Amino acid sequence: MADLKEQKYIVEIAKMQGIAKAAENLFISQPALSKFLARTEQEYGILLFERIGKKMIPTYAGEQYLKYAKQILEQDRSFREQIADIKELKSGSLAIGSTYGRGKNIFPEIIPEFYKKYPKFDLHIYQETAVKLEEMLRTGEIQIAMMTGNSREEQRGEFHIEIVSSEEICLVVPKNRNLQGVHKYGFRYPWIDIRQLEGELFLLLNNGSRLRAVTDKVIRTYGMSPKTIEFSSIDTIWKMVCQGFGVALASDFQVPQDEEVELFSVGSKPITWEFIIMTRVGGYRSVPVQDMIDITKRIYQN
């Protein structure tokens, strides 16, 4: 940053209306300040001050100079304060993204917590598909991506993966079906053979989502061909099942409370995925970025 000595000296002379007091305030000698003013006026080819009695009064050119000099000094002061705030982590910006369904649940919890510590930060929030979030992370548009996945994604070398929690993909069924499951070691919920629901209507997310890929694999693995309806929102699917319409496979992440549904485990082994936080390998991980990650892990880790 420039020291802006010229602007500071001229403004101080105008403020004190003379060389003597201005030199004292600037901690330089009177002759040195007089020579400085003379050199400056010679450089511009104009007089900045005229003597009226014992006072130095700005000329018209001097008034124009002072107007812009004061603006420059104010901008410099503001900039230095911002730099100081950034150094002390009082201000800055952070861009984070999450998939649609997950972001709806996590952002209302993690953002207020983050703002308690960083009230002057500019947060840029994105809700996109997992594929889009990875691309935004790759190009630096966001610093953090939150989604489902697994730690094997780190093997690609592009992203650093932190596991927040493990979630089970379970069968969501209206309570009025009165299904009975059995308890099996390693499963979170009573286990049932999903093939007994062959005749049920399955509610699916549209193609392209990770949950849809998991659902299709399960149906394919067990040789099922149930009737299906597709939706674009997992929230819609939950509401439909809660109202007694259809069944679905869904993550047990933040299951709606006090609803008329039951959860069952399915498969030869638990079907799981992980809630992960991704950052770009080689990207600068600032303290606020790490704090956002820590807040999320504190709230959602199993």
Would you say residue 291 has pLDDT above 50?
yes
| pLDDT confidence of residue 154 | 46
Q: What is the pLDDT of residues 250-284, one digit of tens each?
A: 998 877 776 789 999 999 999 999 999 999 887 77
Q: State the Cα–Cα distance between residues 31 and 22, nearest whole angstrom.
A: 12
pLDDT band, very low/low/confident/very high, at 158 (cuts 50, 70, 90): confident
Question: What is the rounded average pLDDT of the residues 87-112?
Answer: 88
Q: State the Cα–Cα distance between residues 115 and 108, nearest whole angstrom.
A: 11
Is the separation of the CB atoms in 151 and 157 below 8 Å? Answer: no
Residue type, 45: G
Would the CA dihedral through 144, 147, 150, 156 be positive or negative? Answer: negative
pLDDT band, very low/low/confident/very high, at 200 (cuts 50, 70, 90): very high
**Residue 228 CA: distances (Å) to CA of 40, 175, 247, 262:** 82, 20, 10, 20
Q: State the Cα–Cα distance between residues 92 and 293, nearest whole angstrom.
A: 16
Q: State the Cα–Cα distance between residues 137 and 131, nearest whole angstrom.
A: 10
Would you say residue 188 has pLDDT above 80?
yes
Is the separation of the CB atoms in 95 and 124 below 8 Å? Answer: yes
| pLDDT confidence of residue 205 | 92
Question: What is the rounded average pLDDT of the residues 167-176?
Answer: 93
* 258 class by beta-carbon count within 10 Å (0-12 exposed, 13-18 middle, 19+ buried): exposed
Residue type, 149: G
Rounded to 10 degrees, the C-alpha dihedral 115/278/186/190 comes to 60
Lowest-confidence pick of 113-117, 124-128, 150-154, 172-176? 150-154
- Element at 202 (helix H, strand E): strand 202-205
Q: Which of 144, 164, 134, 146 is nearest to 101 (CA)?
A: 146
Q: What is the pLDDT of residues 43-91, one digit of tens each?
A: 999 999 999 988 999 999 999 999 999 989 888 877 876 787 777 777 7
Percent composition of the chain: helix, strand, coil (DSSP 3-state, to 5):
45, 25, 30
| pLDDT confidence of residue 302 | 64
Residue with tokens 């693995």: 221
Q: Which two tokens stand for residue 178?
A: 């009165």
Q: Which of 6, 81, 85 is nearest to 38 (CA)?
A: 6
Q: State the Cα–Cα distance between residues 158 and 143, nearest whole angstrom.
A: 13
| pLDDT confidence of residue 298 | 94
Question: What is the rounded average pLDDT of the residues 158-175?
Answer: 92
What pTM was estimated for this model as a whole? Answer: 0.67
Q: What is the pLDDT of residues 218-230, one digit of tens each?
A: 999 999 999 999 9
**What mean pLDDT value characterizes the chain?**
89
Question: What is the rounded average pLDDT of the residues 162-172?
Answer: 93
Q: Which of 187, 112, 105 is nearest to 147 (CA)?
A: 105
| pLDDT confidence of residue 258 | 66
Query: What contacts 158, CB < 8 A, 6 or more positions away?
Result: 138, 280, 281
Q: Which two tokens stand for residue 160?
A: 């650093």
